[in-house]
Chains A and B, each alone.
Chain A
Amino acid sequence: MFLSVMLFLVSSVFAGSIEGTLLEKGTKTPIPEANVFILSSLNPEALKATTDSAGLFRFPEVPEGDFKFIVNLTGYEKLEEPDYYMNGELRPSRILYLPKVSYQIYETTIYGKEQKRDDSTRSLKASFAAKLPGSNGDPIKAVQNLPGISRASGFSSQVIIQGASPQDTRYTIDGHEVPIIFHFGGFSSVVFPEALDRVDYLSAGYSVEYGRAIGGLVGAWTKKPSRERFKGFVYADLINAGGAIETPVGETGSLTLGLRRSYIGNVLKAVSKVKEDSDFSLTAAPTFQDFTLVYDQPLSVNDDFKFDFILSDDLFEFVLKDSPENDPKIRGSFETRTSFLRLIPQWTHRHDERTTSRLSFGFGRDWIKFLLNDQYFRLSLLSITNRYELEKKWGEGTTSYFGLDNNLGWADVSLNLPSFYSQGGVNNPLSTGTQRRVDVSQSSHKFGTYWNNELKLSPIWSIKPGLRYDYFTTNKSGDISPRFAIRREMTPWSSLRLATGLYYQPPREQETNETIGNPNLLTPRSTHLALTYDRDFREGASNGWSFQGGPFARYFDRLIIPSSAYVTKNGVATPEYYNNDGLGRSYGLEALLRLDANPWNGWLSYTLSRSNRKDGTQPWFPSQYDQTHNINLIVGRDLPRNWRIAGRFRYVTGNPLTPVTGSVFDSDNDAYIPIRGPFYSERVNAFTQLDIRVDKKWIYDRMIVTAYLDIQNATNRKNVESVSYAYDYSKRADVTGLPIIPSIGLKGEF
């Protein structure tokens, strides 16, 4: 009895403190505000501690002996970790790693309306988009799953918006224009996916903050780097390999750094060597590489600074010993290189609670080289883009924005190429064009300013009137674009929005060039109208259905088309090359039905549309990407043990095709010139494709290993992308798209 009493007293006397940190298993993210319990067989009453913001916990008096840490938190598996305490121990503080229930969480993808200024914007969260089947981990490529996006060919990942042309889409990174958004062949976008926060897609009726695109805009937005801790990952798949780190810098800064390089070209190069006698040989593997740096530094309570540095490089060289049968000039050594860099400093200053300024610049260089034997195109461009916006909240529901959106460019262009004539999607052989040589240094400046307003007229009605002015030095044209949107909240979970506006897009530099273009071109223009109905059937719940959709219509005029007319300039006959005689119209209905119901999730996007063009006196004809039906069905399911499986099925009406009805032999150039039938009066077969993606994560205390298998065109369907012709156009053959492409990747996050 005495001994028992003494032992109790001693154990009480020798009780000591234990400190520790509660971290999420794998990600090592501190878990704040969590209760940690200690349960001991000697002490029937559980001890409790609560973690602070850094996940730290402390038990001041722990009795000596065996015990268990217990953590039971929503969204995490229950942790029961045996431990012991011995008086006078010098053990380091404990680290508890709490595993999440699932690491394959299907995240919310479409941003809430409170996060969007422009209701016409659809946003894809990058971390989610990267997991979509068929996009090979690329969030920008995943935009093609949204309604209103026409399917580009299998060799490209252009984003074609609501019946416009590919060149009518602008691409931006943090609001600043970049020359390309996808690397060669559309395998991957030019920004490191993990550095992205979201991808915005602006369609019909987009507001005045952006312009210079009659189709729409795809904007990639970089993520503010996390200050949690130093972390990073490396990965490799069949196409490329890379790695990134994310780390705090100094007291308040943070940095993301990513580097990536492809080796798909080395595979192609090896394949091309297999056939010794091949007429095609790669001299340099097609490679792409990019570097992304994002640095964030709060300067004061009211000032934030962010800085991006993007570097992208694509190189492809090959030798083609024998030319395509219908164009003898395409033969010999090819080299194409596209490189660009952008430095994008961004500064946000909050003047007061109601006034905010945002200033950013994009300092860039573009280098573009295209060589075909002694034919060449070289471009070196220095560009400075600038955006400034002053946001003023006048009162509850009333906000004004005044902004500048400028793009200054100085280019050195050197060109020695034959004139290239293409109509109805059928090209004349390069061999039959007239050789043109141009060496020119030219500037091309685009100035834009806008004034946008959000006015909440009542609890259910709000309007957004805006005005934009653009001036383009290439054709010395100033254009005013009024735009207007009205929104009605039908219920707390549904709304209706009507948006309309005028949109201008400057002619391309070569189109207004004095020597090879027409400097008198007008600015192409389009008028948009879109009605959108939103309905969230979840009504506040986390699981359920949501819908967004409605009709859209666009009318295009002053479209620039190739001209085969001569005009008299300075008393001499000069080719006109281009004129503004093109017209276009597109209209349709688009719908996005989404299901978020863990573990099932997915969406169905459908676009019914018609897109027509008219060239001069020609009758109306379908546009090159007129796709009547475009269906994307994505279904995914989270499985136990951190597995996830997802599939995408696509059905798209076949693209229109211009038949060739005959040809004429050009005996000087040894090539046949096609005679075109009615433009786009035939169609290739419908496109269908099934993509499958499987993800598996292995969670370790201090790292996560992810493996994925992304199979594009899982059924190996031979979809017709275009046609190739016999040398005399008497016969044609289908050119099919990409075959089954399985991509296996491994990623280690630490």
Chain B
Amino acid sequence: MKIIKQALFFIFPLLLSSCGNDGLPDYFLLDRLRVLATTNSVAASEFSAGDSVTLSFHISDPKGAGRTLSYSVQACVDPGISIGLTPTCAGNPTATTAITGSLVPGSAATNYYGVLTPPAFTVPAAGIVFINPLTGTARSAADQYNGVAYLVVMTLTASTTESVTAFKRIIVSTKTTKNQNPTFSSPELLFAGASAASYTLTTDALTIAAQVSTSSSESYSAQNADGSFTASTEKLTLTWLVSSGKMRLSRSDLGVDNRFTPESPLPAVTSFIAVLRDDRGGSAVFSINK
């Protein structure tokens, strides 16, 4: 009964705080070292025990002036991030040896947007990945069907005082029909209703939208704790990122147009990045410089 008190207590401040200009940075603005998204190299975003997976971390370092970044990537069976554990492989008995290296993100590209692709990971066998690393006991049948997360944690370091950490869940399940990554369809972005590639950016505000292939939103079933199944359909969301100017929405649902107001005077190049995510770990990234 008291849950509602908590809910009301939560909503009201949210309502008030969401209305104000609090001076905090905008999510859509690429103004610092960030990991923007993580994708994989194949169509599927869900795997079986023992599969090999190659991940790509999409990185932005607009103010780094092409500096070299060092990285460290480690994988482990998820100890329980969703119930509050810190997303780290430290101390996890299933943790792999860290892969380290360096990169210059998009050194050849404007605004230093680039992709880091470490060597492929091999998902452990069922006897490991379907065992909880903390208790040493098996995951439930529902957990195994819905998918257990094999974490890949990456720390990107620019200096002793500047680093970011990001992680990606490789979903490992016993399902026969695996989740597929959503995909953009051509032309991927529409600026004022026209293809972004052919649009000439001025200082005028414009409507911006993404085109997504119809098969991106998949239907699937989730197993409940009591063994029953619930049918669901993926909900796709778009994240909008830009190197200058202002996006009205940082995230939007599919079919909802966004609005972009360019910076004035117009910079030489403005980078637009759209990240498409389903709600099961699948994702796609599209970027364009204007």
Contact = CB atoms under 8 A, between A and B. Distances in A.
B199 to A, nearest CB: 23
Contacts of B22: 724, 733, 735
Nearest to A324: B18
A730 B162 CA distance: 11
A574 B83 CA distance: 11
B281 A156 contact: no
Interface centre among A328, A433, A508, by most B CB within 10 Å? A328
Contacts of A332: 253
A573 B129 CA distance: 13
Contacts of B14: 324, 330
A280 B15 contact: yes
B1 A167 contact: no
Interface string B11-51: 11111111100111111000010110110000000000000
Contact of A571 (B137, B143, B239, B277): B137
Contacts of A568: 135, 137
B184 interface: no
A667 B1 contact: no
Contacts of B153: 664
A665 B164 contact: yes
A721 B13 contact: yes
Interface string A147-181: 00000010110100000001100000000000110
A539 interface: no
B8 interface: yes
A320 interface: yes
A155 B166 contact: no
Contacts of A279: 18, 248-249
B224 interface: yes
A167 B9 CA distance: 12
A667 B166 contact: yes
A377 B11 CA distance: 14
B7 A565 contact: no
B139 interface: yes
Interface in B78-125: 79-88
A353 interface: no
Contacts of A54: none
B30 to A, nearest CB: 12
Interface in A311-327: 316, 318, 320-325
A666 interface: yes
A322 B80 contact: no
B244 interface: no
Given A325-B26, A377-B3, A572 B18 contact: no
A641 to B, nearest CB: 40
Interface of B is mostly: mixed
Chain A interface residue bracket vs B: 35 or more
Contact of A575 (B6, B15, B83, B277): B83
Contacts of A726: 24-25
B230 interface: yes
A668 interface: yes
Contacts of B140: 572-574
A725 B17 CA distance: 11
Contact of B3 (A419, A508, A725, A732): A508
Contacts of A653: none
A572 B250 contact: no
A618 interface: no
A184 B11 CA distance: 10
A568 B143 CA distance: 14
B35 A665 contact: yes
Contact of A664 (B15, B87, B275): B87
A481 interface: no
Nearest to A418: B82
A116 B59 CA distance: 69
B157 interface: no
Interface stretch (A24-32, A84-92, A366-374): A366-374
A185 interface: yes
Contacts of B165: 662, 664-665
B165 to A, nearest CB: 5
Nearest to A167: B2
Nearest to A373: B235
Contact of A322 (B25, B224, B250): B250
Contacts of A735: 13, 16-17, 22
A325 B34 CA distance: 15
A423 interface: yes
Given A280-B15, A370-B4, A565-B80, 9 more contacts: A155-B12, A322-B250, A330-B14, A338-B8, A377-B3, A435-B222, A664-B87, A670-B37, A733-B24
The 10 closest A-B pairs by CB, nearest first: A573-B132, A564-B84, A665-B166, A434-B82, A667-B38, A733-B22, A421-B84, A568-B137, A155-B12, A325-B27
Interface of A: 153, 155-156, 158, 166-167, 179-180, 184-185, 277, 279-280, 316, 318, 320-325, 328, 330-332, 334, 336, 338, 366, 368, 370, 374, 377, 379, 381, 418-419, 421, 423, 428, 432-435, 437, 508-510, 515, 562-568, 571-575, 577, 662, 664-670, 673, 675, 721-722, 724-728, 730-733, 735
14 contacts: A156-B12, A167-B6, A328-B250, A336-B8, A368-B1, A510-B3, A562-B84, A566-B134, A573-B138, A573-B140, A667-B166, A670-B239, A722-B13, A731-B25
